[in-house]
Structure 1
Amino acid sequence: MNLRGLAVAFAIAVSFPVFGQTPDLQTIAKQSGTPDIPGLKIVWLSPWGDVAKAHPWKNIIVHQTEGPAGSARGGAEAQHKNPTRRGVMVWVETDGTVYWAVADNLVPTHTDGADRNDNKYIDNSRTYHQVNKDTSIGVEFAGNYPDVTRPATQAQIDAWKVLVKVLRARYNIPLDHVYAHDWIDYKDARYCEGCALATLAREWGE
């Protein structure tokens, strides 16, 4: 390439410096309102408030509901109308759409037992009666009806890869505080609820 060609290439590179850069999720995660989050389609039933006034969340618990595909919106809307009912703050549809149902200063009822202390999946010495609804954000993945062993869809996995980073960044939650429902509470002998998704989150790392 001659000098003129090098000059043109340099000018193009300088003119478009942002292409290929990773979005700053750390900054986005601390915002209020209904921010656009690259890689996520979010339906904001409850916009974000001031993160400084959010409940002091310490953990994330992955749930999978025995609802059919398309049921996440209904579950999220019911949760929005009655935030403290049995359910979670965030719902994920089979197409990857995320429904933010509850303001993050309110505490829905989920995993209130936190009674697994058999070390079946993980060491429960830190979770027994500690990782519960009062300390944990619940994320519900819809669509495993009528077969509870059906895994999350690829669209849900793709959304989760971004969502878990946003949740951790917004509330300063350590990576090893991402749990599957069955890791900390008894549920159903037919399958390990949330285990594959929680494991993926830990494997993805920081």
Structure 2
Amino acid sequence: MIMSRLLAVLAALVLSSAASAQMPDLATIARSQGTPEIPGLKMVWLSPWGDVAKSHPWRNIIVHQTEGPQGSARFGAAEQHNNPTRRGVMVWVETDGTVYWSVADNLVPTHGDGGNRNDNKYIDNRATYHQVIGSNSIGVEFSGNYPDVAKGPTDAQIAAWRVLVKLLRARYGIALEHVYAHNWIDFKDARYCEGCALATMARQWGE
């Protein structure tokens, strides 16, 4: 009995090691096309990846939070997919951590208010004032802070973000210091700091 259990454990370890060896690393996956399976993410592909060399020249990531209720990320992503340049973002994250890739990465959704913050309240805005804008920044929307706009992201959203931010940076070659909260670059709702906790986490996690 003991020997059979030991053999079963060893077999499981061998299979696990073989599977790990076959799974490409995140950097390799990030440069791929189609609808790849991404370890650590539940990704819903409304638009598949194309050739990253033909994508829009993204330089920044802007973290948004919407006042939509639980379940609104799916709806928002679908609306964005149907009308890619409407006011919204490329990537939506539901409260359960599900990530929706809504539009092709050679298209530019409308988001951000022009990088109009210049008061240095959160960061030094000399490099962001009218420079970090929707047309050069990937928008990531975290849903579910309704009716309390100051409500933070869920644990599932944080776990997804830990993988997603690395994936986006690897795919588009975006520097860590180019991950911004919406409130860091634009004057927003004074009741809370939109995206600040998530952008801070990304920078603290580092490379």
- In 2: Cα distance, 1:140 partner to 1:117 partner: 23
Q: Give, as a single letter, the amino acid of the residue that structure 1 aligns with 2:56.
A: H
Gaps of 5+ in 1: 1-11
Name the counterpart of 1:187.
188
State the 4+ residue runs in structure 1 displaced beyond 4 angstroms. Answer: 12-23
How many residue pairs match? The answer is 197
Asked if the contact 1:23/1:38 (under 8 Å) is kept, the reply is no
Per-residue CA distance 1:12-38 (angstroms, 9 max, x = gap): 988865577896100000000000000
Q: Give, as a single letter, the amino acid of the residue that structure 2 aligns with 1:34.
A: T
TM-score for both structures, normalised by structure 1 = 0.91
Q: Give, as a single letter, the amino acid of the residue that structure 2 aligns with 1:175.
A: L
Mapping for residues 38-49 of structure 1, pairs under 5 Å: 38-49=39-50
- In 2: Cα distance, 1:37 partner to 1:15 partner: 19
- Are positions 1:96 and 2:92 aligned together? no
Name the counterpart of 2:129.
128
Per-residue CA distance 1:25-58 (angstroms, 9 max, x = gap): 0000000000000000011000000000000000
Per-residue CA distance 1:112-134 (angstroms, 9 max, x = gap): 32100000000000000000011
Q: Percent identity?
A: 75
Name the counterpart of 1:160.
161
Name the counterpart of 2:29.
28
- In 1: Cα distance, 2:153 partner to 2:49 partner: 26
Asked if the contact 2:46/2:100 (under 8 Å) is kept, the reply is yes
CA separation of 1:23 and 1:155: change in aligned 2, threshold 3 A: farther
Give the RMSD, CA atoms, in angstroms.
2.0
Instruction: For residue 139 of structure 1, give the secondary structure of its aligned residue in structure 2.
Output: strand
TM-score for both structures, normalised by structure 2 = 0.90
CA separation of 1:16 and 1:67: change in aligned 2, threshold 3 A: closer
Asked if the contact 2:60/2:178 (under 8 Å) is kept, the reply is yes
- In 1: Cα distance, 2:13 partner to 2:95 partner: 39
- Are positions 1:68 and 2:77 aligned together? no
- In 1: Cα distance, 2:47 partner to 2:15 partner: 38
Asked if the contact 2:114/2:132 (under 8 Å) is kept, the reply is no
Mapping for residues 114-153 of structure 1, pairs under 5 Å: 114-153=115-154
CA separation of 1:105 and 1:17: change in aligned 2, threshold 3 A: same
